[in-house]
Structure 1
Amino acid sequence: MTAKGTFDTANWTPQPPFDDRDGVTLGLVTLDKTWHGDLTGTSVVTMLIATTPVEESRSYVAIERVEGTLDGRRGSFVVQHDATADEGERSLRIRVVADSATGELRGLRGEIGIVVAPDGGHSYTFDYTL
């Protein structure tokens, strides 16, 4: 099955870097999301970020708990993010953590793809099984 829609981000909260040397910075950021479309609800993202002296080379990993309704089924689930940018060449994988879903979403598996529009808006495609 496939769910589609958009999401908004808010409350981007960076913590002071926990490691900063030789132009490479390691930090922690939290943010909130509101999901719209086939997936409606909210989530909190906790991410570890690595930035480098090259503006277009960076990385992040994150854990995100989503609470809401997916195609009429209510519950929560956790996703894991793995993202890199190598001089602008980007890679992003967001997967449901196995057996993390609750409520009517128990058994959920899948991957979420994200597209960032030129105006900064975000849309998603969530390919999943229940």
Structure 2
Amino acid sequence: MSHTATSALTVSDWEEAPVDTLDSGTSLTRATSRSEFSGQWQGTGLACWVLVYTADGAARFVGTQTFSGTLDGRTGTFVLALQGTFEESTAKVSWSVLPGTGTGDLAGLTGSGGYESVSDAPSASATLAYDGV
């Protein structure tokens, strides 16, 4: 990727609801959250998550997140595909831009990145390595 943007990412309004629980203690939940990005990548997002928790409290998850704002001075929207883990109070998330979702100055955007966040930290450092704009 030709460019890399960094941003402070703050997640808020986390709402999680159970879907199913297995006899093993494994549970399936769905969640939504809002995000605020500030830095080279500035704007807001809404994420939808599907999480699988094991009996020990660890989780694996997938989801999507919309983004609306500016990326290195270019304005538009795009959608990220998310996947990651939650273990020992730390979320590790990787993402990639879903092809064809960029609008405005971000039409044609491709890229990937992610972040790592500790539960009690106020924000995380998010990155996106990108091309196409």
TM, length-normalised to structure 1: 0.88
- Following TM superposition, the consecutive aligned residue runs of length 4 or more in structure 1 with deviations greater than 2 angstroms are 84-88, 90-93, 115-119
| Contact 1:54 1:87 survives alignment (8 Å) | no
Residue identity (%): 29
- Cα pair distance change 1:79/1:20, threshold 3 Å: same
Structure 1 gap ranges (5+): none
Alignment of 1:30-69 (within 5 A): 30-55=32-57, 57-69=58-70
Amino acid across the alignment from 2:35? K
Amino acid across the alignment from 2:107? R
- What's 2:74 paired with? 73
- Cα pair distance change 1:95/1:26, threshold 3 Å: same
- Cα pair distance change 1:48/1:125, threshold 3 Å: same
- Measure how far apart 1:67 and its partner are: 0.4
| Contact 2:114 2:126 survives alignment (8 Å) | yes
Amino acid across the alignment from 2:34? D
Alignment of 1:50-129 (within 5 A): 50-55=52-57, 57-84=58-85, 92-116=93-117, 119-120=120-121, 121-129=123-131
- Measure how far apart 1:84 and its partner are: 3.3
Distance (Å, rounded) in 1 between the aligned partners of 2:15 and 2:116: 22
Amino acid across the alignment from 2:12? A
- Cα pair distance change 1:99/1:71, threshold 3 Å: same
Instruction: Give aligned pairs, total.
Output: 128
Provide the aligned C-alpha RMSD in A. Answer: 2.2
| 1:14 partnered with 2:37 | no
TM, length-normalised to structure 2: 0.86
Amino acid across the alignment from 1:24? T
- Measure how far apart 1:93 and its partner are: 2.4
Amino acid across the alignment from 1:38? Q
- Cα pair distance change 1:92/1:9, threshold 3 Å: closer
